[in-house]
Structure 1
Amino acid sequence: MQEYKVKGLSCANCAREMEEAIQQLEKGENAKLFFNSSKLLVDPSINMEKVENILASDGAAIEYDENVPQTKGKKSTFSLDEGTMWKVILTISTLLFFTAILFESGWNDFTVVSVYLIATAISGYKTFMKGLRNLLSFKFNIDTLMTIALVGAFSIGEWKEGTLVAILFGVNEYLEGLGMEKARRSMDELLKIAPKQATVIENGKPFVTTVSSLTAGQTVLVRSGEQIPSDGIIKEGASSVNEAAITGESLPVEKGVGDSVYGGSINNEGLLKIEITKAYEDSSLAKILHLVEEAQETKTPTELFINRFAKYYTPLIMIISALVMILPPILFQGDWGTWFYQGLAVLIIGCPCSLILASPIAIISGITRNARHGILVKGGVYLEQLGKIDAIAFDKTGTLTKGKPYVEQFVSYDDRFLFVAGSLEKSSTHPIAKAIVEKVEELGIQTFSPDELTTLSGQGIKGVLNGKEYWVGNEKSLLDVTISKSVQADIDDLKRKGYTIVIVADRSEIFGIFGIADQVREESTDVIHQLHHVGVKQTIMLTGDHNKTAEKVAKQVGVTDYYGNLMPDEKLERIQQLKKQMRVAMVGDGINDAPALAAADLGIAMGKGTDSAIETADIVLMQDHLGKLPDAIRLSKRVNKTIAFNITLALSLKLLALLLAIPGWLTLWIAILSDMGATIIVTLISLLILVEKKK
């Protein structure tokens, strides 16, 4: 599919109708016109002249730029010239309108009417011509309604009110375009973080090239203050790196040789030589930006309902308008002229723009604000769903805990305990061995390399120090050692507390016992508390660890329930059972928990840019911790409330205006003001989602 940027899209309903018209063309059945991001996707072989004619019928046009390729995240097309043109048109027509009112008594009727018509033509010409074409082809939308209303008003001599309707409708269209463009620009600002150039080192010489031409294996030079062009590994240099583009975290991360870095992050100081591991299009940042841009166009159930409703809404308004014109004069001897006027006002109320605008600006604002904080929401449907979640299930390791073992408690029976443990474990790469070595070094114990070292599969290790043999491992490694009652009591006590046991011994006696735990993340307890505070009814921990460990962590972080000894398929079963009772989100690492993430109503992955997390879940926490999950839920609830309020307001104002028609109090200017007022309020409230309080 060929992608184009489109300028002049200010009406969601009109965009939908143009999309349907393009789909009627040959090779156009799969065409998509995205109102939110002003994009058009069409088959490359489609007749573009016909496509452009359809767009031109509503004042839109494809923006061709010979110097800039049609790529994702390109600058917004709502130019200052277009905005200035609208301001000039509306200013001139408004001045003419008030001039006609001011001199109405002093001028002859022909002059006054001429001034009103000129003001109407300046502000309403485009609407009138589109409506006339629609009327001839029996296509009924807002432009058709406005054209009928204008012709009807002028036909009964309501020159002043007809002109005011044309001007106010022009103001309404301008505000719609302005509000939607503000939301688009906020998204575009986010997409601008993509790096543009890179300094590649080849044959010892640096040269500048485009980021899109980078390939894996190339070495790039990144100076202080420059963006890292793509994912890679540091080969030379050390620096602090700002990864806010990926994680939303403003605090820099210290990086050195061998550390991985992400494209789009910024080198704060020093000089780095980085080996590129991924072409930019495959990098974490590129995938994030692509998914964020696509997220604008996923329709929520609310939006889909509004779109379906809009198809029947306008014809229904036309029927009601006809009944208002006809029934009172026929049944109640009402004045034909009065009720014809009331019917025209009902037509104007039929504008569905404020109703259709109720959702997209709020959705884009919510997705954009979350993305700023490193929370990647893959679509409006997931943003809406996040605010409706009743329960959240968490994997333990790497989610509520750091996934990194550490020594939480130890019992020593011999002075050689820490020395032997540190000396034997220092050569091992096992995570538990690293935890023991860290504790020994922390206590300042000097260690030596063993004379011999043997790994005992599933048990631990044995080694020789100064000619004597020692063991470090679990209970299975102590086949020849008699365990006293007091030592067994200590072992049982540590197990009861949920620790993994590591014992240090020689052939005849036990020197000491380590109690190893998976360290709970600092933020986990506070996050669980906040989740309950924002309305999540249940928090559940699912883990493959044994029940004692699960119980210990569950009590520490404050989840409402927990399940241990679970295999991946058993986690899946638990999620399916929970779904029968409530709406459930699953939070995991995006790899081991993939089945449960997919089965949940909402899958949330701990990511920090990993491909698997980005591809698996509906929402990715790029910070790789849970800290901002409660804020994301709060924001989602706010977006949902905003949309509900917008829809209620739009329908209420229209209903109120319709009720005014019953006693004959409805006027053309009240009708257009009711819709314009709804549009202004809907737009402003939706844009307020982007505003963040300074902390």
Structure 2
Amino acid sequence: MEKSVYRVQGFTCTNCAALFEQNVKALPGVKDAKVNFGAAKVSVEGEATLEELEKAGAFENLRLFPEKQRIVAKKESFWKNQTNVRAVISAVLLVVAWLISKQYGENHGLPVSLYAVSILIGGFSLFVKGFKNLVALRFDMNTLMTIAILGAAIIGQWEEGAMVVFLFAISEALERYSMEKARQSISSLMDIAPKEATVRRNGEEIQIPVDDIQIGDIMIVKPGQKLAMDGEVIKGTSSLNQAAITGESIPVTKSVGDEVFAGTLNEEGLLEVKVTKTVEDTTIAKIIHLVEEAQAERAPSQAFVERFAKYYTPAIMALALGVAVIPPLFFGGEWSKWIYEGLATLVVGCPCALVVSTPVAIVTAIGNAARNGVLIKGGIHLEEAGSLSVIAFDKTGTLTRGIPVVTDLIALQSQSPNEGLAIAASLEKGSQHPLASAIVRKAEEEKLSLHDVDGFSSITGKGVKATVIGNEYYIGSPRLFEELLSVDRMKDIQSQIERLQHEGKTVMVLGTNEQAMTLIAVADEVRESSKNAIQKLHSMGIKKTIMLTGDNKATAHAIGEKLGITDVKGELLPQEKLEAIKQLKSSNQHVGMVGDGVNDAPALATATVGIAMGGAGTDTALETADIALMGDDLGKLPFTIKLSRKTLQIIKQNITFSLAIKLVALLLVVPGWLTLWIAIFADMGATLIVTLNGLRLLRVRE
């Protein structure tokens, strides 16, 4: 089944989006359709032309564009928007009618006529939708407002009917503005990467659209320019500002062989970059796609609100009918008074504020997170992050940099430490092991000359041996030398080995089959942000932080102690990490797992929330985790939890407020004090307040 995705312009409310989805599903060639209101997109399974889809959205004058087509947003003049013009004319007529009524009386034909024209002009689009809904027995906000306004006119409340039309127009304009403001946090991402780039082809430098750039093309990036595509630096060195992708505020130096991303800013030197991904597959394109998909995922609170609203609207209509007919029928009430009260009940019962309370907060929060280098893949994950009580961390590449460095060189015999380092590096230069690489790098830093080796052989799981300058040397773990040397000789160096291990370092020994000559300690450097992030998490009320690592227990405990982690589990296989997460979840705890997204995939998938580090560099992290920290910065984790908690808080505030203000207004029915003025102000005020409250999430920072 063919699936097409289109961007939609013109959505004003969630009800309109739901109606459009129903209309598209009803088209003859369409199998299924799904509207993403937050991202203003529709996915269509089946065959439908653009004209047919726009016809399905004609009730709202919706315009559709293929997903990949770049839409240049034109700033429309206020006076070119028919809705705005009608609202202004309606307001002018309302004011003129009110002034005339003060002169001739409210029931005079002239002000009544002006009120009627004001209602017809200002409420034209509302009535069109309302009558269509009535015919289809579909009861939504437009239906309720249409009944209320016409009812007000029938019982002679022309002035209040006209005022309701005008205030409702303002309310809808505010809702449109707020959703556009929330969506801007995503649309701004789309404008990060340039649409054209300078490429060298056949010895000439030409500027071409990114859609025409192919993998393998050489892109020329001058100082002050943004990169249009992902790629690998093949010439030049420069500082790149990667804030748009990873949220890092400090520019990162990039040189030959380094990976670079579209949307990053070249600050200094001239770079030549070999393109490695098409425009659809760049990191920024993936971020935008995943964020838009995340907005379509309904959060638990949003799903609750939508279920509630389904029963709430018919209940309000039944209540309004009861208010209108029960007092006159059974208690001798005046028909006109109680019909008026029933109409006011319809208006105040409009579910606008309730329906918009959750999506505006979710869309705003996910967009804010993306702009700060955190990719949250759905409203459900956003909500769950705020409820975490335990967070488990992988060590290598998460709490540490994942790149071991030589920290200590201890000469045990008469030769200098650098002599021992030169021999060790000569033995290790052919090995791909991370610890061997650390020794070779250290020798290069010290500018040491390496020796030729003969008779190289590996001793499985323990080390290597070879002949250097006529002598046979061994380098490997202390266990290797326990087998080579006598117990007494090992005793002499055991205390030094244990001291280094308790500092969280891995110790290697260089020597012969008769004596140990040099101790080389290697450690994986702890990230600068790790300790601060752990402290912040504890201060935010995270009860327990746990390190899950395959490293030896002594090293793991040393690093855990240094970082202030509450619990450390070392020497774990990936399967054992998974079991540890399951065990934590079994005690009804909400568990977060932070890892690099590769060997931690099972644990990430099992945790309540899986959080991957360095999503900008690994596709696995983007695919596996529920949340991806785009840069290698653990400091983004406290920000994510803070944002999640703030979002939950605002959603609860919005739902409580929107229901409470309606309840208070409805209680005014009992003494007969509820007026259409109070009703529309309660409805419009609630919508405005919950919307502005949701937009406060744009201001949440680290």
TM-based fold match above 0.5: yes
SS of 1:30's partner is strand
Partner of 2:458: 456
8 Å CA contact retained: 2:643, 2:700? no
Are residues 1:100 and 2:97 paired?
A: yes
Distance 1:14 1:277, change over 3 A: closer
Q: C-alpha separation between the residues in 1 aligned to 2:678 and 2:143? A: 19
Partner of 2:690: 682
- Which of the residues 84, 88, 93 maps onto 1:91? 88
Q: C-alpha separation between the residues in 1 aligned to 2:572 and 2:677? A: 66
Q: C-alpha separation between the residues in 2 aligned to 1:291 and 1:383? A: 14
User: What's the CA shift for 1:414?
Assistant: 2.1
Are residues 1:623 and 2:627 paired?
A: no
> TM-score, length-normalised on structure 1?
0.94
Distance 1:420 1:122, change over 3 A: same
Distance 1:82 1:70, change over 3 A: farther
Partner of 2:288: 289
Moved more, 33-42 or 619-628: 33-42
Moved more, 556-565 or 19-28: 19-28
Partner of 2:125: 126
Partner of 2:329: 330
> TM-score, length-normalised on structure 2?
0.93
1:262-297: CA deviations, max 9, x gaps? Answer: 222222222222222222222222212211222222
2:11 corresponds to which letter in structure 1? L
8 Å CA contact retained: 2:25, 2:32? yes
Partner of 2:201: 202
Partner of 1:183: 182
Q: C-alpha separation between the residues in 2 aligned to 1:183 and 1:395? A: 35
- Which of the residues 516, 531, 536 maps onto 1:525? 531
8 Å CA contact retained: 1:420, 1:504? no
Distance 1:536 1:480, change over 3 A: closer
User: What's the CA shift for 1:674?
Assistant: 0.3
Distance 1:453 1:288, change over 3 A: farther
User: What's the CA shift for 1:591?
Assistant: 0.5
1:207 corresponds to which letter in structure 2? I
2:473 corresponds to which letter in structure 1? Y
User: What's the CA shift for 1:453?
Assistant: 6.6
Q: C-alpha separation between the residues in 2 aligned to 1:246 and 1:306? A: 33
Q: C-alpha separation between the residues in 2 aligned to 1:637 and 1:431? A: 40
Q: C-alpha separation between the residues in 1 aligned to 2:663 and 2:678? A: 13
Q: C-alpha separation between the residues in 1 aligned to 2:340 and 2:296? A: 40
User: What's the CA shift for 1:575?
Assistant: 0.8
2:9 corresponds to which letter in structure 1? K
Q: C-alpha separation between the residues in 2 aligned to 1:504 and 1:322? A: 91
- Which of the residues 601, 605, 609 maps onto 1:598? 605
Q: C-alpha separation between the residues in 1 aligned to 2:269 and 2:553? A: 49
8 Å CA contact retained: 1:390, 1:584? yes
Which contiguous aligned blocks of 4+ residues in structure 1 show a shift greater than 6 angstroms? none
1:687 corresponds to which letter in structure 2? L
Partner of 1:670: 678
1:99-498 mapped onto 2 (5 Å cutoff): 99-107=96-104, 109-416=108-415, 418-427=417-426, 428=429, 429-437=432-440, 446-452=448-454, 454-457=456-459, 458-478=461-481, 479-482=483-486, 483-498=489-504
8 Å CA contact retained: 2:38, 2:292? no
Partner of 2:511: 505
User: What's the CA shift for 1:175?
Assistant: 0.8
User: What's the CA shift for 1:52?
Assistant: 3.2
2:48 corresponds to which letter in structure 1? I
SS of 1:180's partner is helix
Q: C-alpha separation between the residues in 1 aligned to 2:578 and 2:667? A: 53
1:620 corresponds to which letter in structure 2? A
Distance 1:78 1:619, change over 3 A: farther
User: What's the CA shift for 1:451?
Assistant: 4.6
8 Å CA contact retained: 1:234, 1:260? yes
**Aligned pair count?**
688
User: What's the CA shift for 1:456?
Assistant: 2.2
Partner of 2:655: 647
Q: RMSD of aligned C-alpha atoms?
A: 2.3
Distance 1:645 1:472, change over 3 A: same
Structure 2 gaps, min length 5: none
Structure 1 gaps, min length 5: none
Are residues 1:548 and 2:554 paired?
A: yes
Partner of 1:21: 23
1:65-80 mapped onto 2 (5 Å cutoff): 70-71=67-68, 74=71, 79-80=76-77
Q: C-alpha separation between the residues in 2 aligned to 1:304 and 1:56? A: 27
Partner of 2:13: 11
8 Å CA contact retained: 1:301, 1:381? yes
1:431 corresponds to which letter in structure 2? P
User: What's the CA shift for 1:63?
Assistant: 4.0
Moved more, 157-166 or 684-693: 684-693
1:621-677: CA deviations, max 9, x gaps? Answer: 111120111011101111111111111111111111110101101001101110100
1:623 corresponds to which letter in structure 2? G
Q: C-alpha separation between the residues in 2 aligned to 1:462 and 1:82? A: 84
Q: C-alpha separation between the residues in 1 aligned to 2:395 and 2:70? A: 37
Q: C-alpha separation between the residues in 2 aligned to 1:473 and 1:47? A: 69
